[in-house]
Amino acid sequence: MSAGAPDARDAPATSGRRHERAALAAGIATSLLGAAGVALGVVAVASGVGPVRVGGALPLAGVTLAAGATGGLFLLLTGAVAVAVGAYSAGYERHGSTGPAQLAAVPFFVAAMLLVPLAGSATTFLAAWELMALASLVAILADHARAAVRDAARWYAVMTHLGFVAILLAFVVLGAAGHADALAVLERRAGSLSSSSRDVVFLLSFLGFGAKAGLVPLHVWLPRAHPEAPSPVSALMSAAMVATGVYGIVRIDVEVLGGGPRWWALVVVLAGATSALFGVIQASVSTDLKRLLAYSTTENMGLVTLALGSSMLLADYGERSLATVALVAALVHVVAHAAFKSLAFLGAGAVLFATGLRDLDLLGGLATRMPATTGLFFVAALGASGLPLGAGFVGEWLLVQSLIHSRPGTGTLLALVMPVAVGVVALTTGLGVAAMVKASGIAFLARPRSAEAARAHEVPAAMVAPMATLAAASAVLAVAPSALAPALGRLARELPGHPGSFPQLGLLLRLPGVAGSVSPGLLAVGVVAASGGVVALRALVGRSRRPRGTRAPLWSGGAGALTERMQYTATSFAEPLQRVFDDVLRPDVDVEVGHVEESRYLVERVRYRSRIGDVVEERVFSRVLDGVHAWASLVRRVHNGSVHRYLAIGALALVAAVAVAR
């Protein structure tokens, strides 16, 4: 070897240092973009941003930036999540295998998400939306060598671009009818649109934005893409990107169109209720930790959409105060969801970082090995369960209050929809508690069920600190939702149909015009005081009764030492729920019984296998794909290479186009 030539053994170390620097740079860029988004959000909520026009940024149309209180709230949400995810990803990707293209895609992804609520024109909105889709697709393909990742990316690409086509067509109809590109101008002219044009714009835009928000039946990309994407990307997608779908519904269907006939509200309510129930049922039986969290996202976006639809329906019946409460419930919950769901995915990423596992049946015993991650994930699980002291409680409580206080004699449709909606929220909350108990209890408590779980260790402080920040934000939203009051008050006054009768989000949550109130802060103080009293009493009683210096083994009914085979798994925990919802889930169950060779009456082993797919994907989209394949086969027969046939087809198409034009 010549003098000064690098040793081949130094190449992996050099490559590792290069990857660490790239991961650090991508993390810093992501956090800086998030901080810029937070600053712009504060300005937009306080006084608005723009309009600012950059003529040469896009051909012909240029770029127009403008944001009011609605855009400002979603800028704040996206920016805050990006700050935490950027700091986390610098430590998470330090020893990862993500390529430079995928690392660079994450800051671009964040920038595109920030451009969506900043868009002041239809052209700018569509460009930012497509950039967001492409950047997130590249980020998903971090581990593209695996077939599951490529399959998830294909599903995501198809669904997100189908949604984009629907949104594009909606803006084409809206722009052609309103003769403008600026959203502010379209908002002023929306009242002059014909009822058929408004209906087409609503249906297309709700379809496109619903696909991005993960609403059923367009949710099928979530349980595929979220588990296979790197955990920081999953957090951005589930906490921030799906919120852009909610932003689109609020901005276009509520703000620009200004509402519509009652069947619009009914469509939104039904889509939200179906998504909430289907998502939580799938989450309660899922054994993949990240797949469970993905279905939980569908559940929570369903609740947000249910609240938006209820607000539209209540406003149409003249219940302005309750409509504002339902709107505030939707916005509070979408912000809370961003906090606890990003924390949950980062916690799942920490588990994957330490064990390499996502299967709940193989985890367990992480509480003693990863105490910080365990406590922080429990905060996220409490928020997702919708119980008091959790970040999701305030939004769900406001939604229930808006539903149960509607006047019975207002209208038949309202009298039918509101009780059903209350039942949906109650059932969703109960199943959500079961899903989160399974996720946190099976993964972190009891004994480890695999060697990987037994060897787990706490993740670096660079990953714990961002999770702790998100946990603190979740706690603030749970006990002091008044932090959101200024932004939500401005936003509610900005939207049509909400004259400003706003719920008081102080120490005591008070609702306008109805006798409903709750104090999350006092609930927290009471729970902490009661818990402290129980702990102190237990310590006092234990000290007086237990002899010093002796320890008794845990009694196991004479069966010897407890093992991991004696405890619940995620599959066994969910089995009763699987039986209840068998008609919805349609599980594929197989029980194989092996007998001793000498006798058919002596069982040697029993093997139980259960696979639960997505019934919408298997029963709906599989048939759609079969139809596409049949059509492709027909087209392939026509495309046989004959120039004369192609000329004949072109001539027929020209004649048909002329006939339609006339």
Asked if 293 and 226 touch (Cβ cutoff 8 Å), the reply is yes
Between CA 150 and CA 193 the distance in angstroms is 43
β-strands 603-611, 588-595: how paired? antiparallel
> 416-450 burial, b if ≥16 CB within 10 A, otherwise e?
ebbeebeebbeebbebbbbbbebbbbbbbbbebbb
Comparing 504 with 204, the larger pLDDT belongs to: 204
Asked if 398 and 607 touch (Cβ cutoff 8 Å), the reply is no
Of 453, 420, 455, residue with least CA distance to 309:
420
> 229-248 burial, b if ≥16 CB within 10 A, otherwise e?
bbbbbbbbbbbbbbbbbbbb
Asked if 183 and 255 touch (Cβ cutoff 8 Å), the reply is no
Between CA 553 and CA 532 the distance in angstroms is 27
Place of tokens 């901005």: 251
Question: What is the three-class DSSP state of 608?
Answer: strand
What integer pLDDT is reported at residue 583 of this predicted model? Answer: 74
- Please name every residue paired with 607 in a beta bridge, in sequence order, or none if there are none: 592
Q: Is the pLDDT of residue 543 over 90?
A: no
> 255-280 burial, b if ≥16 CB within 10 A, otherwise e?
bbbebbebebbbbbbbbbbbbbbbbb
Q: Kindly indicate the confidence band of residue 635, based on its pLDDT and cuts at 50, 70 and 90.
A: confident
Could you give the C-alpha distances from 342 to 293, 335, 353, 473, 479, in angstroms and in order? 10, 11, 16, 11, 19
Comparing 245 with 571, the larger pLDDT belongs to: 245
What integer pLDDT is reported at residue 114 of this predicted model? Answer: 94
pLDDT digits over 432-487, tens only? 999 999 999 888 988 888 889 889 899 999 899 999 999 999 999 988 888 888 88
What integer pLDDT is reported at residue 64 of this predicted model? Answer: 85
Chain centroid to Cα 464, Å, comes to 21
| Percent of the chain residues topping a pLDDT of 90 | 34
Q: Is the pLDDT of residue 252 over 70?
A: yes
In the sheet with 509-510, reading across from the earlier edge strand, the strands are 504-505, 509-510, 517-518
Measured CA angle at 123 (ends 121, 128), to 5 deg: 95
Of 158, 264, 154, residue with least CA distance to 205:
264
State the virtual CA torsion across 237, 386, 475, 370 in degrees, nearest 10: -70
Asked if 183 and 256 touch (Cβ cutoff 8 Å), the reply is yes
Asked if 480 and 490 touch (Cβ cutoff 8 Å), the reply is no
Q: Is the pLDDT of residue 620 over 90?
A: no
Could you say which DSSP state residue 182 is in? B
What integer pLDDT is reported at residue 561 of this predicted model? Answer: 65
Asked if 86 and 28 touch (Cβ cutoff 8 Å), the reply is yes
- Number of helices (H) and strands (E), helices first, in the chain? 26, 7
| Of the listed ranges 48-62, 225-239, 258-272, 430-444, the one predicted with least confidence | 48-62
Most confident segment among 60-74, 368-382, 577-591: 368-382
pLDDT digits over 558-606, tens only? 555 667 777 777 777 777 877 887 777 777 777 777 777 767 777 777 7
Token pair in block for residue 374 = 């365990």
Task: Tell me the Ramachandran region of residue 67: left when phi exceeds 0, alpha when psi lies from -120 to 50, beta otherwise.
Answer: beta
What integer pLDDT is reported at residue 9 of this predicted model? Answer: 47
pTM (two decimals)? 0.88
Q: Kindly indicate the confidence band of residue 5, based on its pLDDT and cuts at 50, 70 and 90.
A: very low
β-strands 588-595, 504-505: how paired? unpaired
Element housing 237 (H / E): none
Token pair in block for residue 143 = 């581990």
The arithmetic mean of pLDDT across residues 14-25, rounded, is 74
Question: What is the three-class DSSP state of 632?
Answer: helix
Comparing 160 with 318, the larger pLDDT belongs to: 160
pLDDT digits over 403-447, tens only? 888 776 667 888 888 889 999 999 999 999 999 999 998 889 888
Chain centroid to Cα 277, Å, comes to 15
What integer pLDDT is reported at residue 6 of this predicted model? Answer: 46
Between CA 186 and CA 199 the distance in angstroms is 15
Between CA 20 and CA 26 the distance in angstroms is 10
Comparing 225 with 585, the larger pLDDT belongs to: 225
Could you give the C-alpha distances from 244 to 159, 264, 334, 609, in angstroms and in order? 15, 20, 10, 39
| Percent of the chain residues topping a pLDDT of 70 | 90
The arithmetic mean of pLDDT across residues 43-58, rounded, is 80
* Dihedral (CA of 317, 321, 324, 330) sign: negative
What is the average pLDDT score of the chain?
Answer: 84
Q: Is the pLDDT of residue 497 over 70?
A: no
Could you give the C-alpha distances from 205 to 26, 55, 172, 237, 395, in angstroms and in order? 33, 27, 11, 20, 25
